[in-house]
Every structure is written in C-alpha cells, then in structure tokens.
Amino acid sequence: MQDLTVIPATNAALPDAPKRLQHWIGGGWVDSADGATSERRSPAHGVPVSVAAKGGAAEAGAAIAAARAAFDAGHWSRSSGKDRATLLLKVADLIDRDRDAIARQEVLESGKPITQALAEIEGAADLWRYAAALARTMHGDSHNSLGPDMLGLVLKEPIGVVSLITPWNFPFLIISQKLPFALAAGCTAVVKPSELTPGTTVMLGHLLQEAGLPAGVCNIVLGYGDPVGEILSSDPRIDMVSFTGSTGVGKRISAAASATLKKVSLELGGKNPQVVFPDADLDAAADAIAFGVYFNAGECCNSGSRIIVHEDVAEALVAKVAALSRRVPFGEPLDPRTQVGAIISPEHLAKIDGYVRGAVAAGARVALGGAALEVGGLGAQFYQPTIVTGVTPDMPIAREEVFGPVLSVLTFRDFDEAIALANGAAYGLSAGVWSRDVSTCLDFARRVQAGTVWTNTWMDGFAELPFGGFKESGQGRELGRYGLEEFLEVKTVQMRIGATRGAWVA
C-alpha cells in the first residue's frame, strides 16, 4: 500500500439495531401503504444501520397533496418574515443540540469521517440561521418615477410547492442548502433524500416538528428515483424542482418537468480544475490539492479532481502531493483521527477503479495508489489515495466525474493553453488558480467558465456567497440572497393613484 496512513477498526460501539425510518406526510409519521422497506448497511462496517419505509406513488401523491393544501391555505405562505425566521432559528438551535447524534447517523450511512460530519452539521445550522436573516429582510421594490398618477410595485412572492431531491454524499448539509431558503421564502416542500442516506433527513423532520412547523409545510417521502423522484419532477401540483446530483439524472428531471414548464434548479456534477502557475506557492498548493481531492473521499461535486500545472513545476508539485497523500489518514470513519472514510457502495468503488484502469490502458501512469484499500477489521470498501500522471485531455479520467479520491494531472506551457484545458470539459462548477501575481489570478477568474473561482485556496465556503455552475454543472444558484431568490416569483403591480384613466372609446 505504498506506506499509506491507514486507521484500522476501533472498538466504537455500533448500533444494536438499525434506525427505523418513516415518511412524514401532512404532519404525521407513516409507513408505506404496501409495507415496503429498504435496508441500508454501513459502507465501512457492513452492519444494518437504517431500515426505511420505501415510498411509491401513493406516498408521493399524498405528500404533494399535503404540501399543496398547506401552501394554498396560506398559514405559512402568507405569514410574516418574523414568524418564519423565528421558527428557522429554533430549528438551528435544535440541530446544534442534536449535532452528535445526527453526525453519527450520517457516518454510519455514508461512510464519511466523524470529524467531517460534525463540521457539516455545524455548518448546516449556520445555513438555517442565515436563511432566517433573509426571511426578515426579503422585500420587493417600488417605482415612483412613472408620473404623478402612477405607482409601480414589484412584489416577491413564494413560488409555491417545491420538491427538493437530495444526494447521498452530503445529505444533511445539502438539504440545509435548500429547505431553509424555501421555507424562508414562504414555500411548502416535499423532500426526497437519497435511498442510501435517508436517516439524517428524517431526523431533521423530527426537529421541524418539534420546532412547531405547521402540518404539511414540509413533507418527507423516502424511496427511489423511480417512482418517487419521477413523480416529484412531473406532477402538475409541484411548482418547482430543486435537485442536487449527477448531470445525467438532472437532464432526466428537466425532461420530466418540461411537460408542465415548472421551474427547475439543478446543482450537478463537476470536473473542477486547479491551475498552478510556476510562481505559485507549491507547498500551499499541494496541501490544498490533497484536501480538494480526498475530502469526502472525492465523492464531492466540488472535488479538485484535476490539476493543470505548468510543465516547469509539474514534477516538483506531484512529488509534494504524493508525499502529503501518504500522510492522509484513511480508514475507520468513527475514529476522530480519520480524514477519509469508506466509498459509498461496492458498485461505485468499481466505477472509480474503472476510470483509473482505463487511463492506464490509454497511456497514463499511476504515481500513487490505484486500487482498493484494505482496512483492518473493516474490509476493502475503501480506495487508495491515487495520483494519475501523463493524462491527456481526451481521456475519460480528464473529462468525466470520477467521484473518488483520484487526482488527474495535466500540464500546460502558457496561459492560453491553461485556460483552454480548464474550459475543455463539459462541466463548469468550480475552478482554482495558484499564482502570486494578482493579475494572473484575476485574468484567470474572468476567463474561466465556472460558477465559483478560488484563488490561492480551495473549497472555502460561506453562507453569504452563491453557489452553482455553468454549462452541464447545472442552472440556478443556492446560498446567498440568490439562494432565496430561486424560490420567489416576481409580480408587477401598476396602480393608478391620481386622475382617472382617459377614455379610450369616444
């Protein structure tokens, strides 16, 4: 294993029985009408950790009906910003109270390290507080320059019933990038978490209920994309779909939503470049590159999965990244020392390995890793920190989302070539630039096709700043004031306040 840092299984107590999960529909917790369930086993430990009700058309339809009725009744959609904010702040406090339990369930279902999960739950609470602030400050516009007899108003109103479909890689954080903003806007919602990681979304539902959210304002349906996700994308009672996941599924959601022309917001995949110029601080860049590719085992849409480095410093940079990679602790996710945990499923691990093998067959070279990682007491549902050099732009590993701890290395000779390589993928989620020259950084930031650009850093995040992608990385934005605007409709009101309107018919 090339002297890697591996954390074996600990004696941390695993659950005696899996957590039982129900749908939350119209304010009540219910099983599926047909009694169907699905089991989730820990990807790191192999034991059952949750058994969820498996929803179908009946549950999806009931949840949509509940959300529609709640919105049309107006108790939430026409409530004051103060009242919405007060409830959102209560939820944030409850998340803080239950942070340890939420993080542990997320570790058991997803395989991510406990320290990372705890940080994500803390960040999620901050998002609920930020959305509460937006609820108090949301407003429209007035126009009093239309003449003495006219006043124009621009109202911002909740779009209606929204379906929120979330992925398995950051289940609690991503629902917290959507739901509090939708609620702050006055929308009602139907939430479908990934069937692989439903537990923490259900735990959030219990917190919403404890905080006093009116029945039907938020509903949770557990199950698979077929049929639940399809129904939530196509039902005419749904006014908007917000989806985070793969680009392929995002395209199918857009197609399903097109029949009713409902609004669609998509946060999809990425093949995010970090471009390293020869004057960069290579030590700082190497550490950020290691973080960018191994964070969440690379199962991250923002993964810095390809570096584009000037040929004069490529060898030195790769050596630094390889040395750091050997020191990153992979293994037992319940051990606080671990920084990289298990891969979500055996099938996904095989997909990751397939990209690496395909690159080698096409002429690339594995400088580090390149195989499953055996962890004592836990098995081999882990993947070694992997660096692939000699990558060319035409290889799938350079163009497609691997979604694993695999770094592709490409080289360039001048600025224009670097930009061409950075923009050469179909994705445009995020990008990074490393240079001590601020002009180089600014020029790159203006020319690269990406929704977020980091300069001399990677993957910093703030609730105040919008997040979303160009090209096939999606449409729409989350976070910041833009994240609230996604859930609002704009209505123009034109008021004659002076003399009566002149007659048109003589």
Tokens at residue 432, please?
Answer: 């990074």
Candidate list 120, 267, 299, 472, residue with the active-site label? 267
Tokens at residue 457, please?
Answer: 């850093």
End-to-end CA distance of the chain: 92
Residue 311 designated active-site: no
Largest Cα span, the chain: 93
Distance CA 419, CA 73 (A): 52
Q: Which helix (H) or strand (E) holds 109?
A: helix 99-110
Question: What is the three-class DSSP state of 273?
Answer: strand
For tokens 């990209």, name the residue: 355
Instruction: Pinpoint the alpha helices (H) of 25-56.
Output: none
Tokens at residue 356, please?
Answer: 């690496």
**Any residues with CB less than 8 A from the CB of 371 and at least 6 apart, and which?**
353, 383, 384
Question: What is the three-class DSSP state of 28?
Answer: strand
**Any residues with CB less than 8 A from the CB of 306 and at least 6 apart, and which?**
271, 272, 273, 274, 391, 398, 407, 408, 409, 410
Buried/exposed code over 146-169 (b: 16+ C-beta within 10 A; e: otherwise): eeeeebeeeebbbbbbbbbbbbbb
Instruction: Pinpoint the alpha helices (H) of 362-477.
Output: 396-399, 415-422, 438-447
Looking at the DSSP bridge assignments, the partners of residue 29 are 24
Distance CA 24, CA 35 (A): 15
Looking at the DSSP bridge assignments, the partners of residue 495 are 151
Beta strand 386-389 pairing with 406-412: parallel
Distance CA 205, CA 26 (A): 12
Q: Contact 202/24 with Cβ under 8 angstroms? A: yes
Q: Contact 48/40 with Cβ under 8 angstroms? A: yes
Q: Contact 55/114 with Cβ under 8 angstroms? A: no
Tokens at residue 2, please?
Answer: 């090339």
Tokens at residue 469, please?
Answer: 């992608």
CB atoms within 10 A of CB 108: 30
Query: Residue 333, preceding bond cis, omega within 30 degrees?
Result: no
Tokens at residue 127, please?
Answer: 């998002």
Instruction: Pinpoint the alpha helices (H) of 329-471.
Output: 346-361, 396-399, 415-422, 438-447
What are the catalytic residues? 267
